Amino acid sequence: KLNYEHCNQLVQDFEKVVDSPIKSKTSVYYTGVDLGTACVVLSVLDENYKPVAGAYRYADVVRDGMVVDYIGAIKIVKDLKKQLEEKLNTELIYAAAAIPPGTDALDSGAVKNVVMGAGFELTNVLDEPTAANKVLNIENGAVVDIGGGTTGITILKDGKVIYVADDSTGGTHFSLVISGSYKMTFQEAEVYKRKSENHKELLPVLRPVVEKIASIINEHIKDFDVNEIYLVGGTCRLNGIEEIIEKKTGISTHKPQNPMFVTPLGIALSC
Ligand code: ATP
């Protein structure tokens, strides 16, 4: 059973240090680099695997899990690395990275080169759900990662990944719906969507897209014995998304306090 207390504590500690990094007497820092479709996140842990710093930037350098702007991606990771190094007054050497499941042969080279091109020594490349599960620690159930461009569905049995799938529906579609309904530009819709005070008003507008994601989940899990769904990914920050998914799938659905930081933290934990 998931130890949400541990997961929420880790995420909470991380949220605090994203705003104000902690100087630590650690002899080594571990960095997680999460190159996402919508967002690039760097998370830094000390030798005891406690969060000490973090930074993120919305970017358009990855699409459907593939690095589409290689130079842009290196620049962002380099910039965020430098920003964190200045705050921590140290050099960040070691980093791990993650790739969407199933893209290993296709693209892991690009992700590796981005992390190394930004000046890190790469210690590990793992798949995103495995990274998320370093924080969640679940044995059985489905981890559903609703990111910017995609929704990843991973089924675990006795702690092992037995099924993975990726569907190209994610937060970008939410912003497109808002943009259409409110006559906003995509960028304005993105900003509007991320403000939690707008979530109550947005939920009915976004319900059809959330229900579409729920039916995608249903389709993928139908042949498995899934009793719990665990939500991660930035799009799951939308208040109320968990209730719609739970209702539509009929499966008990959980989400940690800030689902956006689960995978980046898991990557750093695997460094
Ligand atoms: P992918 O997993 O598809 O590669 P990613 O890793 O960039 O994408 P995440 O960082 O997990 O995805 O999430 C980014 C998405 O989360 C974006 O679509 C963003 O608009 C959305 N998002 C971030 N914060 C919020 C919020 N507070 N409310 C709603 N959506 C949010």
What was the ipTM of the complex prediction?
Answer: 0.98
Residues of the chain with CATH 3.30.420.40: 4-132+261-269, 138-256
Q: What is the pLDDT of residue 24?
A: 83
Nearest Cα neighbor of 145 from 73, 241, 3 is: 241
Nearest-atom number in ligand 1 for the CA of 34 is 6
CA distance 172 to 175: 5
Q: Please give the number of the atom of ligand 1 that sits closest to the Cα of 41.
A: 10
Residue 73 CA to residue 180 CA, distance in Å, equals 29
Indicate the top mutation candidate among 68, 194, 262 to test ligand 1's pocket, ranked by most ligand atoms within 8 A of CB: 194
Tokens at residue 95, please?
Answer: 């980093």
Give the CATH number of domain 4-132+261-269. 3.30.420.40
Choose the CATH number for 138-256 among 3.30.70.120, 3.30.420.40, 3.40.50.300, 3.40.50.2300: 3.30.420.40
3-state secondary structure (DSSP) of residue 117: helix
Mean pLDDT for all residues in the chain:
93
Mean pLDDT of 75-82: 97
* Confidence class for position 106, pLDDT limits 50, 70, 90: low
